[in-house]
Amino acid sequence: MLVHVYPAEELTCRAAAFLFAAQLTQKPDSVFGFATGSTPIPCYKDLISFYEQGLLDFSQVISFNLDEYCGIAQDHPSSYHRFMHENLFSHINIPKENIHIPNSMGVDACERYDKAIEQAGGIDLQLLGIGKNGHIGFNEPDDAFSCGTHIVKLTESTIAANARFFKDEKDVPRTAISMGISSIMACHSIVLIATGESKAKAVYDTLNGPINPHVPASILRLHPNATFLLDQDAASML
């Protein structure tokens, strides 16, 4: 596992964009795992800029997103479908049919998502943020690590953290569909970005505490190709 600390948020996210750019340059039909939240936005801005400059071509890329809320429409202003289209997909040349975002509709929704990842040959590079409670995707602290894609009951901490994306905290969905810990661990490479002081404790517990499902991100220490990109504030407790 690699840990890099940068002096500013912008540089931390740029380092992640460089990893995606390198992967795409070496494998034009890369399978990317994308994440939502505030953290990756500067990374997506850089990827869009690289594309606009003619440095990157996403025409053969296949993408899978980590998670999505249950019970809101795809075009809901706070859906992760909408987030990804506004912050990345509508600005690059990834074909619409190559984009996968979990959708909780249908009894076999989770199995179908895992199967689609498998059929694409697995994820080459997965981007992750980290929750203040150490979650990755919507894999919340629990007594056991999750396996494949599954439906999750969100914790109060995550609901409160995500209320900023909704009109009111009561509008935040209480459940979500998320790739599981096994799905994430199966990715060939992982890059986790953490920025800001609010993530310092989660980063400390992830890197220095026991590997434990109560800090889901801690399992990444067992991944053979995981890179943590931190700004100084997120690394301040290390």
Interface contacts to ligand PGA, rule CB under 6 A: 37-39, 129-131
Q: Which residues have C-beta within 8 Å of that of residue 85, sequence separation ≥ 6?
A: none
Q: Which is nearer to ligand PGA, 42 or 148 (CB)?
A: 42
Query: 145 in helix, strand or coil?
Result: coil
Q: How far apart, in whole angstroms, are the C-alpha atoms of residue 117 and residue 101?
A: 11
Q: Which is nearer to ligand PGA, 60 or 155 (CB)?
A: 155
Q: Which two tokens stand for residue 103?
A: 């959708």
Given 98, 133, 139, 162, the catalytic residue: 133
Given 140, 205, 231, 233, the catalytic residue: 140
Q: How far apart, in whole angstroms, are the C-alpha atoms of residue 203 and residue 208?
A: 8
Q: Does 67 qualify as catalytic in the annotation?
A: yes
Given 135, 139, 150, 162, the catalytic residue: 135
Cβ of residue 13: shortest distance to ligand PGA, in angstroms? 11
Residue nearest to ligand PGA (CB): 37
Q: Which is nearer to ligand PGA, 66 or 110 (CB)?
A: 66
Quick count: other Cβ atoms within 10 Å of Cβ 238? 12
Q: Does 140 qualify as catalytic in the annotation?
A: yes
Q: Which two tokens stand for residue 40?
A: 């990756």
Cβ of residue 39: shortest distance to ligand PGA, in angstroms? 3
Q: Does 225 qualify as catalytic in the annotation?
A: no
Cβ of residue 134: shortest distance to ligand PGA, in angstroms? 10
Q: How would you class 20 by CB atoms within 10 Å of its CB: exposed for 0-12, middle for 13-18, buried for 19 or more?
A: buried
Q: Which is nearer to ligand PGA, 112 or 132 (CB)?
A: 132
Strand partners, 125: 32, 189
Residues designated catalytic: 67, 133, 135, 140
